[in-house]
Amino acid sequence: MQDIATVFQNQILVVAIAACIIAQVLKLVVELLRHGKVSFRTLVETGGMPSAHSALVTALATGVGQTMGWETPEFAIASIFAVIVMYDAAGVRQAAGKQARVLNQIVDEMFHDAEFREDRLKELLGHTPVQVIAGCILGVIVSWLAIPA
């Protein structure tokens, strides 16, 4: 049980999780500004501004660079991981969301008179490039502010 408690002493992990939580809370603020109301579903849904995935992995990579060194294999691993996650968020999952939107439209048009029992596909799966960049910037800022030089 003592080993589990030491996990939370890992400053890089705590900062990365904090960046993710901050991004999720900022989604509530953006939702309030855009729609005039707060939807707490935003906290558990994918997509939105800023990208919490990007904030998490960028804070992780930045924290590793700050503490381990920018030239280390650990920083290289964290950076490549961050790039893959951000590419997936803005590329693959965004494309899957667009496909879901088209499929939902097809089902709506073909079965508008019939009763269709299947759930609609989730359309908001990924992030726009702007949302990913905003999450990336947030992650770097959180890490720079939280981890002393």
Q: What is the pTM of this model?
A: 0.78
Locate tokens 């729609």: which residue? 35
Long-range pairs, 73-81, Cβ under 8 A, ≥24: 81/57
18-70: pLDDT as tens digits:
999 999 999 889 888 888 888 777 777 777 889 999 999 999 999 999 999 99
- The 10s digit of each residue's pLDDT in 106-136 is 777 776 666 666 666 565 656 788 999 999 9
Give domain limits for the chain.
2-146
Q: Is pLDDT at 89 greater than 90 in this prediction?
A: no
Q: What tens digit of pLDDT does each residue of 130-139 get?
A: 999 999 999 9
